[in-house]
């Protein structure tokens, strides 16, 4: 599911379809951006990452090995990738923050419940 969402994000950002069987430069570079993001943000293997875009693990490894060079050679691609990277990392961190926020609220409510139970016990003893 995470990989499919990442594919959609990359496709929309670069306005390509990285799952199609093409060697067009913009698709190859967008696919490499997907590989990089998938390796950094998930625990999926290169085999699984490649399968989801109809490539084998060696294609993923090749792209990963050349990715830094592509970024250094194409400033427009580098700028677009940096924008995408910030979006993806921030999206995922917002989700993580929301989970933490819910957990903190839950713990707060548990503490408040315990305090109220203590107060109820005190009032019962007074009656």
CATH number of domain containing 21: 1.10.1750.10
pTM above 0.75, yes or no: no
- Distance (Å) of CA 7 to CA 13, 39, 88, 112: 10, 13, 11, 43
Residue 54 lies in a domain: yes
pLDDT of amino acid 96: 65
Domain interval for residue 45:
2-97
Q: Is the pLDDT of residue 45 over 60?
A: yes
In a domain, 113, yes or no: no
Number of separate domains in the chain: 1
Of 86, 89, 3, 19, nearest in space to 59 by CA: 19
Domain assignment of residue 46, yes or no: yes
- Using left for φ > 0, alpha for ψ between -120 and 50, and beta otherwise, residue 54 falls in left
112 within some domain: no
Residue 90 pLDDT grade (very low, low, confident, very high; cuts 50, 70, 90): confident
């Amino acid at each position: 599911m995470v990989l499919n969402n990442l594919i959609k994000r990359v496709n929309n950002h670069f306005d390509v379809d990285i799952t199609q069987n093409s060697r067009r430069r913009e698709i190859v570079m967008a696919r490499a951006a997907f590989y990089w993001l998938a390796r950094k943000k998930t625990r999926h293997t290169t085999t699984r990452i490649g399968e989801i875009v109809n490539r084998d693990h060696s294609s993923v490894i090749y792209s990963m090995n050349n990715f830094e060079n592509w970024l250094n050679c194409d400033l427009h691609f580098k700028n677009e990738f940096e924008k995408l990277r910030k979006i993806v990392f921030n999206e995922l961190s917002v989700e993580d923050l929301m989970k933490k926020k819910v957990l903190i609220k839950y713990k707060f409510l548990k503490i408040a419940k315990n305090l109220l139970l203590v107060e109820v016990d005190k009032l019962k003893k007074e009656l």
